[in-house]
Chains A and B, each alone.
Chain A
């Protein structure tokens, strides 16, 4: 990714972010769990996941958070600072599915150059994640 960033003044309420589909592979789920040092068995051990009532391993929350943050900063650029993430969790992310992230700017705060983005990550079973990410952007000249 380049150093290009959005300026606060370039962003309007209602702006939509580029859609980001994420292929949910076992590799991604395990890599995310390991990178977040979350070795809870249901995120890497299929038998443990089955014992917990799921048909396969499923994505941990930190990975969901990491993907949501990536989705927003891919759009906003290197000079954005994420200050707040608030998410509601829904249907699990399982291997073989696809999660499609969509988002739109829902609020702007001129005092802090902060924008709020509403984010939804949907898989075949419904909404995996819905919520908001707040980030401050450079004001721009």
Chain B
């Protein structure tokens, strides 16, 4: 539970003191901009742009000589293996600020945005240094991850002539971790990393229907008393009150009665935009499912569709429709 009342006021007061502060350290590149580090970068990224690695092509280009990839800017001043240790420079105001958040329960951290501006491309031999300022701390926000605060920092990069070559900003969320993340749970169970669709809840009244789907059939419940078809399944016939029933298999042929194109929110396991339709099956009942392999703009009411039963993730089968 997030802190409140006077405790929150005191905490936010403490935060205010950090806004506008230089973090107290200058990051100085250990190596000049050089062809070897550029080549390692380009190999990792699969970037074959000649301006970075081919002196002849670079010379003919607008760059006139070999240059470093612009997005590599921060790489010139990062700490390397030293970053893997827990020790940090006691003068580092940014780390100090993060520890204050941790101590008040906002121990989660995630970078949400970054913006970079490149005044010029770096050339071989450039010497890069950078200073970072804590620009802004937001008011408390409710986010998808939990309650927290956004911290904005700005790092300005300069060369050997003390001329600015670019800057970058980071927006980081410090948040209260609400519960065990789903990802951690799946790590324990060894579940696949590919997200799966939500499973239907199974019980006596519907389990048989899903078992039919697993066997490749789209079933429709039929009253044994009056032979009325009904969907979704239920234990008693609303027409004649009979509790006896069996089922028939649908041909899967139908027409779109109505449909939607879902764009938000995007739930892992589903592909968006996601088309879902209410379909009039030729047997007279309706069935709701996806229409696939179609441009959402081409779906229309009255369109003929055909159901097939297929895997929609690693394990779950579902009848889905395609234009007939």
Do A and B belong to a common assembly? yes
Q: Which residues of A come within 8 Å of B, CB atoms? A: 1-3, 5, 22, 28, 31-32, 34-41, 45, 50, 53-56, 61-63, 65-70, 73-74, 78-79, 81-89, 91, 94-97, 124-127, 138
Supply 25 A–B pairs (Cβ within 8 Å), ascending by A.
A1-B50, A2-B50, A35-B40, A35-B75, A36-B74, A36-B75, A38-B75, A53-B181, A53-B183, A55-B187, A56-B187, A62-B78, A63-B44, A66-B41, A67-B45, A70-B47, A78-B51, A78-B61, A84-B115, A91-B268, A95-B193, A96-B194, A97-B193, A124-B195, A126-B268
Interface hub of A32, A53, A86 (most chain B Cβ within 10 A): A53
Q: How far is the CB of A103 from chain B (nearest CB, A)?
A: 15
Residues of A within 8 A of B49 (CB): 1, 70, 73-74, 78
Q: In the complex the two chains form, is A55's CB within 8 Å of B118's CB?
A: no
Q: In the complex the two chains form, is A138's CB within 8 Å of B184's CB?
A: no
For residue B117, CB closer than 8 A to chain A, the reply is: yes
Q: How far is the CB of B150 from chain A (nearest CB, A)?
A: 12
Number of residue pairs spanning A and B whose beta carbons lie under 8 angstroms apart: 162
Residues of B within 8 A of A84 (CB): 115-118
Q: Which of B64-72, B123-131, B281-289 contacts A (4 or more CB under 8 A)?
A: B64-72
CA A92 to CA B114, docked complex, whole Å = 15
Residues of B within 8 A of A138 (CB): 62
User: Given A55-B183, A79-B62, A82-B71, A125 and B116 touching (CB < 8 A)?
Assistant: no
Residues of A within 8 A of B113 (CB): 86-89
Interface hub of A31, A66, A84, A91 (most chain B Cβ within 10 A): A66
For residue B112, CB closer than 8 A to chain A, the reply is: yes
For residue B11, CB closer than 8 A to chain A, the reply is: no
Q: In the complex the two chains form, is A78's CB within 8 Å of B71's CB?
A: no
User: Given A35-B75, A81-B121, A56 and B193 touching (CB < 8 A)?
Assistant: yes
User: Given A39-B79, A70-B47, A73-B49, A97 and B194 touching (CB < 8 A)?
Assistant: yes
For residue B84, CB closer than 8 A to chain A, the reply is: yes
Q: How far is the CB of A11 from chain B (nearest CB, A)?
A: 16
Residues 205-236 of chain B, each 1 if its beta carbon lies under 8 Å from chain A, else 0: 00000000000000000000000000000000
Residues of A within 8 A of B79 (CB): 37, 39
Residues of A within 8 A of B187 (CB): 50, 54-56
Q: Name which residue of chain B comes closest to A77, CB basis.
A: B49
Residues of A within 8 A of B75 (CB): 35-38, 62
Given A3, A95, A97, A124, which contacts B60 in the complex, CB threshold below 8 Å? A3
Residues of B within 8 A of A95 (CB): 193
Residues of A within 8 A of B89 (CB): none
CA A95 to CA B183, docked complex, whole Å = 13
Residues of A within 8 A of B74 (CB): 36, 62
Q: In the complex the two chains form, is A66's CB within 8 Å of B69's CB?
A: yes
CA A3 to CA B63, docked complex, whole Å = 12
User: Given A3-B57, A37-B75, A66-B71, A125 and B195 touching (CB < 8 A)?
Assistant: yes
Residues of B within 8 A of A62 (CB): 71-72, 74-75, 78
Q: In the complex the two chains form, is A37's CB within 8 Å of B80's CB?
A: yes
Given A28, A74, A89, which contacts B44 in the complex, CB threshold below 8 Å? A28
Q: In the complex the two chains form, is A85's CB within 8 Å of B115's CB?
A: yes
For residue B111, CB closer than 8 A to chain A, the reply is: yes
Given B69, B81, B183, B266, which contacts A69 in the complex, CB threshold below 8 Å? B69
Q: How far is the CB of B221 from chain A (nearest CB, A)?
A: 35
Residues of B within 8 A of A55 (CB): 183-184, 186-187, 193
CA A133 to CA B283, docked complex, whole Å = 53
Q: Name which residue of chain B comes closest to A70, CB basis.
A: B47
Q: How far is the CB of B80 from chain A (nearest CB, A)?
A: 5
Q: In the complex the two chains form, is A70's CB within 8 Å of B83's CB?
A: no
Residues of B within 8 A of A61 (CB): 111, 114
For residue B160, CB closer than 8 A to chain A, the reply is: no
Q: In the complex the two chains form, is B71's CB within 8 Å of A69's CB?
A: yes
Residues of A within 8 A of B83 (CB): 38-40
Q: How far is the CB of A30 from chain B (nearest CB, A)?
A: 9
CA A89 to CA B45, docked complex, whole Å = 18
